[in-house]
C-alpha cells in the first residue's frame, strides 16, 4: 500500500499533540523579521491540512498540495467543516506549477525528508522558484541528520483500545535513509481494518541544502534551530530554512 493511504484517517490522532498554530506563529515571526507580507500561501506536502488551515484561519489565500489523495480528502473535509476556503491539489511536489505567483511557499513537518534523492530535492526547489513572487519567501523545515535515525531500530508497538500500530524501523547510517514499515489495525465497528505501508525519509545536512537552494536560484537568509532564531547546532532536531529568490532570478 502507498504511503499515507491507510494512515490517512488516523494521522490527525497521531499528531494530536502538535501545536500547529504555534508553528504558524513562528512562521509569522519569520515573515516579520524579513519584512515579508504575503497574501497567498502554498503549503507543499500539506497532508490533512494541519500546516495550511491555520493560514486560512488568519485570512491568507491558501493552497495545499500533497501526493496522497486520502490525506487531501481529510484536509478538504476539515476545511469544509470550518467554513474555510483552501484550494487543494493532489500532486507530486517534484513537478508542480501554479497559475499565479505566490508570496509564501512552505513545506513542514518532514514533508521534504520524504524526498530521498538529492536530484529530487533540486526539482522541488526549481518548482518553488518558478511559482514564488519576486519578493516572496520559501520557508521549510527538515529533520536533522542526527535526529532522523535517533529512534532505535526494531519494532515499537502502540496499543490502544481502538488502534494498534506496529512500527519496524531501520536506519541506514551510511546513506542517511530511515525507513519504517507500519502495520496498523484500526477499529471499524466490531472489526479491525488492517493496513500496511512503508515510509522512507532522509536527513540532509544544511551545507548540502544551501548548495541546492543556491543552484535553484535562491539565497538562504537563515537556517534556524526550530522555533528560535538561533543557529542550528549538533543537538538541533529540526532545522528551519528561510530562502528568497536571488536578485538574478526575480
Ligand atoms: C508527515 S506528513 C506532513 C503533513 C502536514 N504538513 C502536517 O504537518 O501534518 C508528510 C506528507 O508528505 C506527503 N508527501 C510525501 N512525498 C510527497 C511528494 N513527493 N509530493 C507531495 N507530497 C508528498 C505525504 O503524502 C504526507 O502527507
66 SS3 class: strand
The verdict on the CB of residue 111 being under 6 Å from ligand 1 is yes
- Angle at CA 205, nearest 5°, toward 102 and 37? 25
What per-residue confidence (pLDDT) applies to 250? 80
CA 202–ligand 1 middle distance (angstroms): 14
What per-residue confidence (pLDDT) applies to 94? 98
- What domains can be seen in the chain, in order of their start residue? 8-144+204-249 (3.40.50.150), 147-202 (2.20.25.110)
Take atom 15 of ligand 1 and give the residue whose Cα is closest: 114
CA 248–ligand 1 middle distance (angstroms): 31
CA 190–ligand 1 middle distance (angstroms): 31
In whole angstroms, give the CA distance from residue 212 to residue 217. 9
The verdict on the CB of residue 60 being under 6 Å from ligand 1 is no
What per-residue confidence (pLDDT) applies to 154? 73
Atom of ligand 1 nearest to the CA of 120: 19
What per-residue confidence (pLDDT) applies to 227? 98
In whole angstroms, give the CA distance from residue 167 to residue 180. 6
- In the chain (250 residues long), the average pLDDT of successive 10-residue segments reads 87 95 98 98 98 98 98 98 98 97 97 97 98 97 84 81 91 84 93 94 95 98 98 94 91
CA 46–ligand 1 middle distance (angstroms): 6
CA 71–ligand 1 middle distance (angstroms): 8
The verdict on the CB of residue 219 being under 6 Å from ligand 1 is no
Cα 95 to Cα 58, 75, 92, 127, 209, distances in angstroms: 28, 21, 6, 7, 19
In whole angstroms, give the CA distance from residue 131 to residue 125. 10
Question: What DSSP assignment string belongs to 179-233?
Answer: EEEEEEEEEETTEEEEEEEEEEEE---HHHHHHHHHHHTEEEEEEEETTSSSBP-
In whole angstroms, give the CA distance from residue 239 to residue 241. 6
Radius of gyration of the chain (CA): 18
Q: Is 215 exposed, middle or buried (0-12, 13-18, 19+ CB in 10 A)?
A: exposed
What per-residue confidence (pLDDT) applies to 184? 94
Take atom 20 of ligand 1 and give the residue whose Cα is closest: 92
What per-residue confidence (pLDDT) applies to 145? 84
Amino acid at each position: 500500500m502507498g504511503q499515507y493511504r491507510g494512515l490517512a484517517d488516523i494521522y490527525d490522532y497521531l499528531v494530536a499533540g502538535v501545536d500547529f498554530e504555534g508553528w504558524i506563529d513562528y512562521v509569522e515571526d519569520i515573515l516579520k523579521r524579513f519584512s515579508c507580507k504575503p497574501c497567498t500561501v502554498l503549503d507543499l506536502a500539506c497532508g490533512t491540512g494541519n500546516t495550511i488551515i491555520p493560514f486560512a484561519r488568519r485570512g491568507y489565500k491558501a493552497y495545499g498540495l500533497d501526493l496522497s489523495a486520502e490525506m487531501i480528502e481529510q484536509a478538504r473535509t476539515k476545511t469544509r467543516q470550518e467554513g474555510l476556503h483552501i484550494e487543494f491539489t493532489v500532486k507530486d511536489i517534484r513537478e508542480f506549477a501554479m497559475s499565479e505567483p505566490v508570496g509564501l511557499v512552505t513545506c513542514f513537518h518532514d514533508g521534504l525528508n520524504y524526498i530521498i534523492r538529492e536530484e529530487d530535492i533540486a526539482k522541488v526547489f526549481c518548482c518553488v522558484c518558478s511559482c514564488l513572487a519576486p519578493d516572496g519567501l520559501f520557508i521549510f523545515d527538515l529533520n536533522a541528520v542526527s535526529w532522523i535515525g535517533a529512534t532505535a531500530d526494531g519494532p515499537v508497538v502502540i496499543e490502544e483500545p481502538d488502534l494498534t500500530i506496529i512500527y519496524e524501523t531501520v536506519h541506514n547510517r551510511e546513506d542517511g535513509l530511515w525507513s519504517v514499515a507500519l502495520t496498523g489495525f484500526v477499529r471499524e465497528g466490531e472489526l479491525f481494518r488492517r493496513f500496511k505501508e512503508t515510509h522512507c525519509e532522509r536527513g540532509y545536512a544544511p551545507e548540502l541544502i544551501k548548495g541546492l537552494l543556491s543552484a535553484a536560484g535562491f539565497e538562504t537568509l537563515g537556517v534556524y534551530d526550530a522555533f528560535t532564531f538561533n543557529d542550528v547546532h549538533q543537538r538541533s532536531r529540526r532545522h528551519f530554512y528561510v530562502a528568497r529568490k536571488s536578485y538574478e532570478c526575480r
